[in-house]
Amino acid sequence: MMNSAQLISLLIQASYFAAAVLLIMGIKRMSSPVTARSGIQWAGVGVLVAVIATFFHSGMHNVVLMLAAIIASTALAWYSGKKVAMTDMPQMVALYNGMGGGSAAAIGASALLGFASLMAAPKFVAAQPHVNQSQLVLAVLGALIGSISFTGSLIAFAKLQGWMDKTFRFPGQQAVNGLCFLAAVAFGAMVVWHLEPNYIVLFFAAALLFGILMTLPIGGADMPVVISLYNAFTGLAVGFEGYVQQNVALIIAGTVVGAAGTLLTRLMAKAMNRSISNVLFSNFGGGGASAAEIKGSLKPIDADDAASLLYLAEKVIIVPGYGMAVAQAQHKIWELSQQLIKRDKQVKFAIHPVAGRMPGHMNVLLAEAGVPYDLIADMDDINPEFPNCDVAIVIGANDVVNPVAKTDKSSPIYGMPILDVANAKQVIVIKRGKGTGFAGIENALFYQDNCRMLYADGQEAANKLIAGLKAVDSGGGH
Amino acid sequence: MIDGFLALYLFMLAAFTGHEIISRVPVILHTPLMSGSNFVHGIVLVGAMVALGEATTPLQMWIGAIGVFLGAGNAAGGYVVTERMLEMFKSSKKPGSAQQGAK
C-alpha cells in the first residue's frame, strides 16, 4: 500500500502528464482555423491543472509570497492583455515572452545557487550530495538562453512600443557584441567548473547585457523574426530548466515550443527572403542605402477620379499594409470593399507574408474588421492575378510592393519576395505623404506610369472613395 | 531520474512533435500560433513555483518570487492575448452572403 505522501506525489505526476498532453493537443488544434479557439482553451486547462497540482508539492515554502506574486502578475497581465489594441499585439507577445524567458533564467539562477551551496557545504561523512554534471550544464545553458530572451524581448517591446529609437548602432558593434557573448559563455563555463557565486553573478550580467546588445541594432522591419526567435529561445530555456528540475511537463512543453518556434522563425525569415543570421547580424532597415536612382515622377490623383477608376473596374485587389492598421482604416476599407462588391466587382485582399508586424498579423486585423476569410489571399495565390486586375489599391504598404526587390541588385531589399502590384493595369496608392517605408528606400512602383498617388489619411481616403462611388452612381453612371 | 539517453530521447521526440504539429499551419494562423506557443511555455510558472517553494536562502526566495511573478505574467498575458485573437477568427466560420457577389 502507498502512503498519502506517495499518493499525492503520484497525483502531481499524473497532473503534469495530463498538462503535457493538453498542451501538445492545444498547439495542434491551434494550427487549424476551425479548432484554433478550442486549442488555446485546452492549453489553458493544461497549465491551470499543472499550477494547481504544484501547490501540493511536498515541502513547499513561501506559499503566501507565491500566491501574492501569482495574483499580482496575473492581474496586471490579464488587464494589459485585455486592453491592448490589436495593432499593438506584437509587442505584447514580446513582453510576455520576455517574462517567460526571465522566469526560466530565475529558475536557473536559483538552481545554480542551490548547487553552489551544496558544493560549499562541509563534507558529511556518509551521503555527500554531489551535483549532477548534466543538470549543472543545462541549468547554465537554460539560464543563458532565458536571460538573452528576457532582455532581448524587453528591447523588442520598447522598440515596437515606440519608446526607443528603431536602431542603435556604433562602430565596432559586432565586435563588442561578440565579445559580450564570449564573456557570457566563458563565465558560464567557469560556473560549471567552479560553481562560485561570483562567477554566477558575472555570468548573468554578461548574458543579460548580451540580450540587450544583440537586439539594439535590429530594425523594426525585422522585429517579427526576432520576436519569434526569442519565443523559441524561451521554449528551449524552459525545456532545459525542466531537465534541471526533473519536471517532464516543462521538458516536453518547452522543447515542443522551442522546435515549433524555430520552424516558425525559419518560415518567417524565408517569407522575407532573409536568413536568420542575416536578420541578426546585418544592418537592414538602416536607411541611407545607396539604391539606384529612380526615374519618373509621382503622379497625384484626387479621390473623385480614383472613385471613377474603381467604378469602371471589374476586378479590384486591395493590398493593405501596416500603415492601414496604424490609421485604423481597416473598417473603412472593408466598407469600401462592400460598396464595390455591391456593384458586382470582384474584390480580393492580397496579404504579404510579413504584412503587419508579424506573419498573419494583417489577417488578424482584417478579421477584426469583419473581412471574411475567403476574400483574403496569400502572396503566392494572388501574384498571378495582378495582370488581370483592373485596379490595385495599395494602402499603407510600401516595401512589400516595391519592384526594386526584383530588379535592383544594389537595393537592401533585393531578393525579398514582393506582391506584383506593379503588373496591375492601374495602381492607386493611398499614402499620407511622400516618405519611404521601414527599409528607408524609394519605391519604384510609385513612379510607374500606371500608378497614381492618393495623398490622404487611410480613413479619410476610404470615406472619400465611398462618397465618390455614390456620386458616380447618382451622376447617371447607371 | 530522467538522465542520459532517456533524456536525449525525450528531447528528441518532443522536438519532432513540435516540428510536426505546426508544419502545415496556414499563414493566417502564424500570429495566433506564435502567441499560443508563447502561452504554452508559460508552464515555466510551475518550475518557478517549485524554485520558490524549495528556496532555502533569502536570495533564492527573492529570485524565486521574481521567477513566479514573471512566469505568471507569461501565462496569463499569453492566454488573454491569444484568446482575443482567436475569438475574432470564429466569426469568419460562416462569412455571410457578402462574398457571394465577389465570386
Chain B residue numbers with beta carbons less than 8 Å from the beta carbon of A59 are: 53-54
Going by their DSSP bridges, the two strands A376-378 and A346-351 should be labelled as parallel
pLDDT value, residue A412 = 73
Q: Which residue of A has its CA nearest to B67?
A: A103
> How many other CB atoms are found less than 10 A from the CB of residue A299?
13
pLDDT mean over A75-88: 92
Catalytic residue at A399?
yes
Cα–Cα dist A176/A182, whole Å: 10
CB-nearest partner of B68 from A69, A114, A256 = A69
Distance from CA of B56 to the nearest CA of A (A): 8
Question: For residue range B82-92, what is the model confidence (pLDDT) as tens digits?
Answer: 999 888 765 44
Residue A181 pLDDT level (bands cut at 50, 70, 90): very high
> How much is the mean pLDDT over chain B?
84
Task: Kindly state the percentage of chain B with pLDDT values over 70.
Answer: 85
CB–CB of A228/A94 below 8 Å? no
DSSP A12-49: HHHHHHHHHHHHHHHHHHHTSTTTHHHHHHHHHHHHHH
Task: Kindly state the percentage of chain B with pLDDT values over 90.
Answer: 62
Chain B residue numbers with beta carbons less than 8 Å from the beta carbon of A347 are: 102
CB-nearest partner of A57 from B16, B50, B61 = B50
> How many other CB atoms are found less than 10 A from the CB of residue A189?
14
Grid cell digits, residue B68: 513566479
Q: Does B99 score more than 70 pLDDT?
A: no
Task: Kindly state the percentage of chain A with pLDDT values over 70.
Answer: 91
Please name the helix (run of DSSP H) or strand (run of DSSP E) that holds residue A427, with its range, or none: strand A426-431
Question: For residue range A90-114, what is the model confidence (pLDDT) as tens digits?
Answer: 899 999 999 999 999 999 999 999 9
Q: How many CA atoms lie within 13 A of A383 on its CB side?
A: 12
Look at A101-105, A283-287, A421-425 and tell me which has the smallest mean pLDDT.
A283-287
Q: Work out whether the CA dihedral A244, A250, A256, A261 comes out positive or negative.
A: negative
**Cα→Cα distances A98→A211, A218, A266, A327, Å:** 11, 17, 20, 28
pLDDT value, residue A209 = 97
Distance from CA of A293 to the nearest CA of B (A): 35
Contact B41 A117 (CB under 8 A): no
CB-nearest partner of B72 from A74, A243, A253 = A74
Cα–Cα dist B65/B49, whole Å: 8
Q: Does B95 score more than 90 pLDDT?
A: no
Q: Does A119 score more than 70 pLDDT?
A: yes
Maximum alpha-carbon separation in chain B? 69
Would you tell me the crossing angle of helices B30-40 and A361-369 to the nearest 10 degrees?
A: 110
> How much is the mean pLDDT over chain A?
87
Q: Does A385 score more than 70 pLDDT?
A: yes
pLDDT value, residue B93 = 43
Cα–Cα dist B97/A469, whole Å: 22
Contact A373 B16 (CB under 8 A): no
What is the ipTM score, two decimals? Answer: 0.88
Residue A287 pLDDT level (bands cut at 50, 70, 90): very low
Q: Does A269 score more than 90 pLDDT?
A: no
Question: For residue range A122-141, what is the model confidence (pLDDT) as tens digits?
Answer: 655 445 567 788 999 999 99
pLDDT mean over A316-328: 87
Residue B102 pLDDT level (bands cut at 50, 70, 90): very low
pLDDT mean over B17-43: 86
Q: Does A289 score more than 60 pLDDT?
A: no
Write the CB contacts of A319 (distance below 8 Å, at least 6 apart in sequence): A349, A350, A352, A392, A393, A394, A395, A397, A400, A401, A419, A421
